[in-house]
Structures are given as C-alpha cells and as structure tokens.
C-alpha cells in the first residue's frame, strides 16, 4: 500500500502545494485502498475535519491528482469514482458494483490488437478495460 509520505512527495514533485484539504483527501483515498469512492463520499469524510470544505474543492483536487497520474477515474451509473493508482505497470480492474472493491487483472487482451491498429494507420494512445460484478463478500448478500 502506498504511504501518505510517498503521495505528499509526488504532489510536491509535480509543482503543487500540499494544502491541508489536499492532505485530508489523500488520507481518505488511502483509507479506501483498493476501493473506488465518489467525490461526494470523499466530501462526507473530509468535512468532519474541514467543515467549510465544499464539493467544488474536492473535484478540483481530484482533477489535479488525476492530471499528475495519482488516481484512476471510472464511472458507474454516471457517477465518477476515484481510486489511488495502485502500481505503475499496465493492468485492468474488476470492480464490485456494491462496495467498490477493486482487484487488478495483470492481463491485457488488447495487446494482440496492436498490429491490427497499426494496419489501419491509427495511433492508439490509451485504453481501459473495467469489468464489473460482485466481490466475494457482497455476492453473499445477493438474492439467489
């Protein structure tokens, strides 16, 4: 698991200050290790420490953290969800639709398509595969 110290260092290396609010957001993200979380849920946790914090500040900070490659961002039912980047190597995720738990899949089926993409004279810059379902704990609560 990544430490707050490492995250602070990366923020500063990218030319940003570590404001108290940004530090609180990072702590919430660390606390949700391997789980995606919404900006609204981050606000609910950080507002306990900073009562004047608002959703605009949360989104602004999440955008900065995403721009400096510290966050994964995904969408579920039109809600943006965020998770700290877990490692630098290329991978994909399986995401629980109930609790947001995330597991890494170290396999990429799209690597086989790279030659086909080149044949079409297309430059592929990025891709993302996200699989959704229910984790072991949450599937116990589903009705059969």
Give the chain's radius of gyration (CA, Å). 17
Q: Pick from 78, 65, 137: which is nearest to 57 by CA?
A: 65
CA distance 2 to 85: 9
Tell whether residue 99 is among the known ligand binding residues. yes
Tell me the two tokens of residue 49: 């420490």
Angle at 130 between CA 139 and CA 40, to 5 degrees: 75
Q: 4: how many CB neighbours lie within 10 A of its CB?
A: 13
Tell whether residue 83 is among the known ligand binding residues. no
Tell whether residue 86 is among the known ligand binding residues. no
Feature table: binding site for Zn(2+): 96, 99, 135, 138
Feature table: binding site for Fe cation: 90, 127
Feature table: binding site: 90, 96, 99, 127, 135, 138
């Amino acid at each position: 698991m990544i430490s707050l110290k490492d995250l602070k260092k990366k923020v500063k290396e990218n030319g940003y200050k570590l404001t108290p609010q940004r530090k609180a957001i990072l702590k919430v993200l660390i606390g949700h290790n391997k789980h995606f979380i919404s900006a609204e849920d981050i606000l609910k946790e950080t507002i306990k420490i900073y009562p004047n914090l608002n959703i605009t500040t949360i989104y602004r900070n999440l955008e900065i953290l995403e721009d400096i490659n510290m966050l994964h961002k995904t969408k579920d039912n039109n809600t943006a969800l965020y998770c700290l980047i877990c490692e630098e190597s290329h991978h994909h995720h399986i995401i629980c639709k109930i609790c947001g738990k995330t597991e890494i899949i170290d396999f990429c089926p799209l690597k086989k398509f790279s030659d086909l993409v080149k044949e079409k004279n297309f430059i592929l810059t990025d891709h993302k595969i996200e699989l959704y379902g229910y984790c072991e704990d949450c599937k116990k609560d589903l009705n059969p």
